[in-house]
Structure 1
Amino acid sequence: MGHGGEEIGGHKLVNFAGMIFHLDTLYMTWLTMAIIIVGAVIARRGKEIVPRGWQNFVEMVIEELLTQIEATMGPKGKIFAPFIMTLFLFLLVSNWLGLVPGFTSPTNDINTTLGLALAVLVLVHGLSIHTKGIVPYIKHFFQPHVLFFPITVVEELAKPVTLSFRLFGNILAGEILIVILGILVPYVVPTLWLAFSVFVGIIQALIFTMLSMSYLAGALQDHHD
């Protein structure tokens, strides 16, 4: 059973126009977006010269991400700062949401993580075409030899799969373990694991974001080839 009485990994399904929707994932995704928007508004309205509380946390996250973006992607990478920061905050809040009783993480649904991974890869390939040109972009699939074409294609297809399954698997496993430990060993152990899961949520959001930056950096570097 999940935090709110639902089976962990199970979803409330609704069929609409021939498509199946996971209602719980949609609700939690909207809630995640609402939390981020409200948090950003609060941080902006309560802006102080000497940051404290929520503003201090937001500024610390932003400054650290800006540093990582410049280190990984170079000066030109700053144009992607809003995307990278939004991605990280969305992942962070999503991962933590499932630790609250009665809630689930949107990232414990493979549809969410795969959707995010595909969005990143579409941006990467679009950027690569923009910086390098369509013909050189196509040619790179056949380098250093035409025989490498299948390997390059498999490598590109594997990126969104590994990116999404890593995040999905870790978040889902964490939620399952919290429930199991709560049943087998109440109170102390589940509380310790909950604290550890908060840390894992940060790490998984950071890994997904850093890999996304790495892919984008590779597309930017195509311009110099």
Structure 2
Amino acid sequence: MAHTNVFTEEGMTRLRNFKRRTAGYVAAWLMCGVVVAVALFWVQMKYGLQPLERTYLKQYARCSLRASVSKRSQSTYILLVRSITHPATKKDTFVRLTDAEVEPVLDARGKIVRDPKLGLKFMLKPGIAHKYFYWQMGRTRDAEMYPWMRTSIYDGKSFGGLCAPMLMVGGVIFFSGLGVTIIRDRRANKQYEQGRAIRGTRELAPQQYEREQDAATGLGIVVYNSKERAA
């Protein structure tokens, strides 16, 4: 049996080879996990989110990040709003809209109409009071926008919470695939160290060959000992 002590030259060589193979396994399974997570995120984007949730997702990711870094940072936001006349002041007041108040505009084939600049086109649901209805662009503090989007648009879910299921699936694929691959690698390497996996030629005594030939996985070659030759 080959020496496996890492303090020997052969042991150090085997350890370096194992590290090199493991790095390749990590890269391959990490890529698989990322691809699966991205694919699931795309499916979630397309089929699992409401129209305004999809429209605001990039802005939500940005305000989530910036609000966690600084309470004073500001960003430009494009939001769908309606204006109403305030009953007390008689002045126009702007109200940010949610998915409960709007629905996407559909074409003759039943597909959602898209605006080249703003994305999806929307219309107010029946019974929603308004004076004007349009997209409003303005600068707002990220620390103010984040809690509104989280509560009113994303039902209390943080941006990390939206991504968590996809990241968990990708992580399970990465760790399980990596673990199985390393176990199989160790088993194959152990067979090689014990001489059961033939790689090239080996010099064996006739008695040793008789003990190992039943477990051999390489090309079988008939070998005669001295007694058989004499007979």
Q: TM-score, normalised by structure 1?
A: 0.30
Structure with the bigger percentage of helix: 1
Structure with the bigger percentage of strand: 2
Q: TM-score, normalised by structure 2?
A: 0.29
- Larger radius of gyration, structure 1 or 2? 2
